[in-house]
Amino acid sequence: MANYKIQVNNKSYEVDVDSDTPLLWVLRDNLGLVGTKYSCGISQCGACTVHLNDAAVRSCGLPIASVGDAKITTIEGLSEAGDHPVQQAWKEVDVAQCGYCQAGQIMTAAAMLKNNPSPTEEEVIDGMNANLCRCGTYHRIKEAVLLASSKIK
Amino acid sequence: MNKALKSNRRDFLKIAATAGGGLLIGFNWSACDSPKMKVVSNEEIFDKAINYNSFLSISPTNHVVIYSPNPELGQNIKTSFPMIVAEELDVDWSNVRVKQAFLDTEKYDRQVTGGSGAMPHSWQRLRQAGATARQMLMEAAAKRLDVPLSSLTTEKGNVVHGSKKISYGELATDAASLPVPENVALKDIKDFKIIGTAVKNVDNDAMFTGQPLYGFDVYRENMLHAMIQRPPFGMKLKKVDAEAAKEVKGVKDVLTFKNNVAVIGEGTWPLMKARKLLKIAYEPIEGTLESTAFHDKKFDELLNSGAGDVKRKDGDVNNAFRNAARVIKSEYQCPFLSHSPMEPMNFFANVKEDSVELIGPSQTPDRARKAAAEICGIDPEKVSVALTRLGGGFGRRLRADFVEEAVELSKMLKAPVKLTWSREDDITGGAYRPAVKYRFEAALNDKDEVIGYKLSGAGINAGNTTRENNFPAGAIDNLEIRSAEYKSPITTNAWRAPITNFLAFAEQSFLDEVAEAIGKDPIELRLGLLDKAKKNPVGEIHYDIDRMKGVIKAVAEKSNWGKKDGVSQGFSVYFSHRSYVAQVAEAKIKDGQAVLDKIYAVTDCGIVINPTGADQQVRGGMLDGMGHAMFANLTFTDGVADQKNFDSYRLIRMKEIPEIETHFIDNGIDPTGLGEPALPPTGGAVANAIYKMSGKRMRNQPFINQEGINNFNLGSPA
């Protein structure tokens, strides 16, 4: 066990965990930030996506020891009032079925749009393809990302 | 004040107090997207609400609290049920607050998510609940104004008398003390204002901001985490060496029970690490351990030996086949499938001296309660079950195996326990869609009429592999349907649209083969058979011929069937869970590559409650049917699944989806199920379009493993 100081959603936390503990389990089990979901544990589904500085990363495969002083943003910290353009678009398009994967989808989409605010449909598909949705909400995810893009512009 | 609500309120305060440390979800205040909700806090609404019946309370603040009893796993029942109550109550949707009811068999009749059965079961009950409360509010208003009841109407949460309006909130207390009227008249469906409108998911805010909603999000102070190593199918525990596992920091104990080895600790990651250090020896229970090649051989044995039961027999099949000018014969096979909902199995159990507290995702909370009561030897009434939102189910959460495990552990440890399954546990842990093989035979006379039809199904722990009274039964004079079963240690369970999820694909593909053999348009073939069934029905018919013809004709029109250049169309239609869905899939060449481009779906599920939710169910069912037909495969070596996670167990992804266009038949018939019916026809429509384009019949799933599919763009590998 070791002490790690991390920055999550603009707050500082200190946690005492093994160095190989994935960020996902620190967020969930130690910090009570349960919006970030576990589903595969091997970076294959994207349900655990968070931002490390501005990049979307799979928190299930990111050991706490490698986080350093990077700024972590989770779904809880994406916006103060739940009104990030991507969150707004997700509501307007009524994207979710079971909803379990959607925090990861939203975080992936938000990072993509930060990097490229006006993606083409092909770029949206490329950017979102690694996030699984078992309910099959892919059409609406695509629509919502494009809608969010139009809100950001 | 209603007692139940008072106690809920207390629970809320308790939860709020512990939220800083050990976080717990018990309730989720769900509200619609209305800025008005900010004016009065949900807390105040719930605190003041006066209970009318199992489904609704009315608050003097003018808000209505509607309780949704059924487990919500993405079928959108938590939005559509309250819409029905609100419709008959005649309130403004922005003043509705929805709460997930917990298991209460006194108040509710069927707290189950399965079989697409909730809507047909509850439609009238929900309407009556709303209409009865509305009547009581009108009676209270009639008294207060001293006017006849017949002079009153309602509008958006107000009772109206001429130019005078009294809000439901003002009447809530008076009306609640009135006797409950019986057999209250319901609205004419043409007056619906909420039903038929696209009402957004009531959990959107919570889901999209990461609030705790799911079983996985349940945390309690002093709660122990648990994970379990289960034996391969057909094996039992011989011995375990847990020394190294116990050394992992955060691990508290390693227990064995019922051939399982459970690792107990203070967090999820220590358990995941410790499991890898367990040295476990298993031994076979009896006989050989099963592999996929063994199952393939079993299928042929069963089909060739004529084993199993006759499920339906019409006319003289042997005679028809003896006299046939020719016989068309084909076999179709599918593998086991994992349900793999995005949220793996989990449950929270707290076994106390003389009661049990359960919290988690279950499609059958009453089964969970009974299982816990039996394990603990207490009355089921001493077991409480709080329902969380389910991160998918697909039938996997109809079982209570994971609840039983959590209860066993909590009982042994005398502590609250949260049991977590890993993805590997989920995919290798059983309760699969059974593997099945079908043999179809059609006898044609010299006029190319279908005079005989035989279907033999063989399944591994599949029960009846057929739906013997479904189309084309009733339309063919000589018909025999048989089913045989092999009992395996590999566990199976209902998987979204049980049996029909593969049967429909096989049957709709075979009918396409028959149509081709006799040179008939596939749609004309079905319509001809349906006309024959209407005119001269053979035996029992469990489907509505006119409704089936309705969706067929509509999808032909929407897809411009048979009239498109450069497009290869495949047709399929199926009746399941009381609803009818016809589909046309289209393949075409894009940039020199054959692609599955689009699927049209026409659904007859009666009245559509919520168009946005209905579209989701059809779309989701279709991608489920298509994705699994194309990609998913679960094979076995010596009782162990070869695929263990999403790197090898392939699910459909965004690059692989075609465009989908959904339509619904507007016929005013009472609503029927929609969680499953769109799935069964999809594999057939897709396979028939692939055949039309490539000349390759997809007879085995997954298609990706079939010869000839390589030239077809099914998207990039996962």
User: What is the predicted pLDDT for the residue at B592?
Assistant: 80
Which residues from chain B sit within 8 angstroms of residue A139, using beta carbons?
A: 619, 657, 659-660
Angle at which helices B401-413 and B365-376 cross, to 10°: 40
Taking alpha carbons only, the member of B231, B232, B8 closest to residue B101 is: B8
Cβ-defined contact of A75 to B716 (cutoff 8 Å): no
Q: Are residues A94 and A63 part of one domain?
A: no
Per-residue confidence band for B713, with pLDDT thresholds at 50, 70 and 90: low
Compare CB distances from B654 to A22, A91, A142 and report the shortest one's residue.
Answer: A142
Q: Are residues A22 and A50 part of one domain?
A: yes
By C-alpha distance, the chain B residue nearest A130 is B653
Q: Are residues A89 and A73 part of one domain?
A: no
d(CA A131, CA A101): 8
Which residues from chain B sit within 8 angstroms of residue A64, using beta carbons?
A: none
Q: Are residues A69 and A118 part of one domain?
A: no
* Whether A105 contacts A141, CB under 8 Å: yes
Which residues from chain B sit within 8 angstroms of residue A49, using beta carbons?
A: none
Per-residue confidence band for B200, with pLDDT thresholds at 50, 70 and 90: very high
pLDDT digits (tens, 9 = 90+) for A140-153: 999 999 999 999 97
Residue B214: is its pLDDT beyond 60?
yes
Q: Which domains does chain B have, with CATH numbers?
A: 3-208 (3.30.365.10), 215-285+345-420 (3.30.365.10), 505-713 (3.30.365.10)
Which residues from chain A sit within 8 angstroms of residue B620, using beta carbons?
A: 97, 135-137
pLDDT digits (tens, 9 = 90+) for B139-150: 999 999 999 999
Q: Are residues A91 and A46 part of one domain?
A: no
- Rounded to two decimals, the ipTM of the complex is 0.98
- Tell me if chain A has a CB within 8 Å of the CB of B382: no
By C-alpha distance, the chain A residue nearest B22 is A32
Average pLDDT for B213-229: 97
User: What is the predicted pLDDT for the residue at B718?
Assistant: 32
Q: Are residues A95 and A34 part of one domain?
A: no
Measure A39 CA to nearest chain B CA, in Å: 6
Exposed/middle/buried for B280, CB within 10 Å: 0-12, 13-18, 19+? middle
Cβ-defined contact of A133 to B657 (cutoff 8 Å): no
Average pLDDT for B624-644: 97
By C-alpha distance, the chain A residue nearest B390 is A98
Per-residue confidence band for B594, with pLDDT thresholds at 50, 70 and 90: confident
Percent of chain B residues past pLDDT 90, beyond the cut:
88
Q: Are residues A139 and A107 part of one domain?
A: yes
Average pLDDT for B202-207: 97
pLDDT digits (tens, 9 = 90+) for B265-285: 999 999 999 999 999 999 999
**Average per-residue pLDDT for chain B:** 92
Q: Are residues A89 and A140 part of one domain?
A: yes
CATH code for the domain of A117: 1.10.150.120
User: What is the predicted pLDDT for the residue at B39?
Assistant: 64
Cβ-defined contact of B198 to A94 (cutoff 8 Å): yes
Residue B652: is its pLDDT beyond 60?
yes
Angle at which helices B680-694 and B611-630 cross, to 10°: 50
Compare CB distances from A135 to B205, B620, B654 and report the shortest one's residue.
Answer: B620
User: What is the predicted pLDDT for the residue at B591?
Assistant: 82
User: What is the predicted pLDDT for the residue at A22?
Assistant: 98
User: What is the predicted pLDDT for the residue at B492?
Assistant: 98
d(CA A82, CA B25): 19
Residue B19: is its pLDDT beyond 50?
no
Cβ-defined contact of B203 to A99 (cutoff 8 Å): yes
User: What is the predicted pLDDT for the residue at B186?
Assistant: 97
Compare CB distances from B342 to A1, A32, A101 and report the shortest one's residue.
Answer: A101
Cβ-defined contact of B209 to A42 (cutoff 8 Å): no
The rounded average pLDDT for each run of 10 residues, N- to C-terminus, in chain A (153 residues) is 93 96 98 98 98 97 97 98 97 98 98 98 97 98 98 88
End-of-domain residue from the set A32, A52, A77: A77
Cβ-defined contact of B653 to A101 (cutoff 8 Å): no
- Tell me if chain A has a CB within 8 Å of the CB of B203: yes
Q: Which domain holds residue A108?
A: 85-152
End-of-domain residue from the set A42, A77, A112: A77
Which residues from chain B sit within 8 angstroms of residue A142, using beta carbons?
A: 654
Cβ-defined contact of A134 to B207 (cutoff 8 Å): no
Compare CB distances from B208 to A1, A22, A87 and report the shortest one's residue.
Answer: A87
CATH code for the domain of A65: 3.10.20.30
By C-alpha distance, the chain A residue nearest B225 is A29
Which residues from chain B sit within 8 angstroms of residue A123, using beta carbons?
A: none
End-of-domain residue from the set A29, A51, A77: A77
Residue B8: is its pLDDT beyond 90?
no
Number of A:B CB contacts under 8 A? 184
Average pLDDT for B503-516: 98
Element (H, E) at B439: strand B436-444
Q: Are residues A98 and A31 part of one domain?
A: no
Which residues from chain A sit within 8 angstroms of residue B211, using beta carbons?
A: 35
Compare CB distances from A91 to B204, B391, B718 and report the shortest one's residue.
Answer: B204
User: What is the predicted pLDDT for the residue at B710?
Assistant: 66
Residue B362: is its pLDDT beyond 90?
yes
Q: Are residues A108 and A133 part of one domain?
A: yes
Interface of B with A in 495-534 (CB under 8 A): none
- For chain A, the domain total comes to 2
Which of B33, B622, B630, B654 to mutate against chain A (most A CBs within 10 Å)? B654
Q: Are residues A28 and A95 part of one domain?
A: no
Taking alpha carbons only, the member of A140, A119, A126, A131 closest to residue A50 is: A131
Which residues from chain B sit within 8 angstroms of residue A45, using beta carbons?
A: 342, 646
Average pLDDT for B476-486: 98
By C-alpha distance, the chain A residue nearest B74 is A98
Measure B150 CA to nearest chain A CA, in Å: 41
- Tell me if chain A has a CB within 8 Å of the CB of B269: yes
Exposed/middle/buried for B257, CB within 10 Å: 0-12, 13-18, 19+? middle
Cβ-defined contact of B343 to A1 (cutoff 8 Å): no
* Whether B115 contacts B495, CB under 8 Å: no
Residues 6+ apart with CB under 8 A from B680: B497, B500, B501, B503, B504, B505, B574, B576, B581, B625
- Tell me if chain A has a CB within 8 Å of the CB of B208: yes
Q: Are residues A143 and A95 part of one domain?
A: yes
User: What is the predicted pLDDT for the residue at B714?
Assistant: 60
Measure A77 CA to nearest chain B CA, in Å: 8
User: What is the predicted pLDDT for the residue at A141?
Assistant: 98
Average pLDDT for B439-451: 97
Percent of chain B residues past pLDDT 70, beyond the cut:
93
Measure A145 CA to nearest chain B CA, in Å: 13
Cβ-defined contact of B716 to A142 (cutoff 8 Å): no
* Whether B51 contacts B116, CB under 8 Å: no
With helix as H, strand as E and coil as C, how does B644-658 read? Answer: CCCCCCCCCCHHHCC
User: What is the predicted pLDDT for the residue at B82?
Assistant: 97
d(CA B449, CA B290): 43
Which residues from chain A sit within 8 angstroms of residue B210, using beta carbons?
A: 33-36, 74-76, 103
pLDDT digits (tens, 9 = 90+) for B32-72: 334 333 468 888 999 999 999 999 999 999 999 999 999 99
pLDDT digits (tens, 9 = 90+) for B275-315: 999 999 999 998 889 999 999 999 999 999 989 999 999 99
| DSSP sequence for B555-611 | HHHHTTTT--TT-EEEEEEEEETTEEEEEEEEEEEETTEEEEEEEEEEEE-SS-S-H
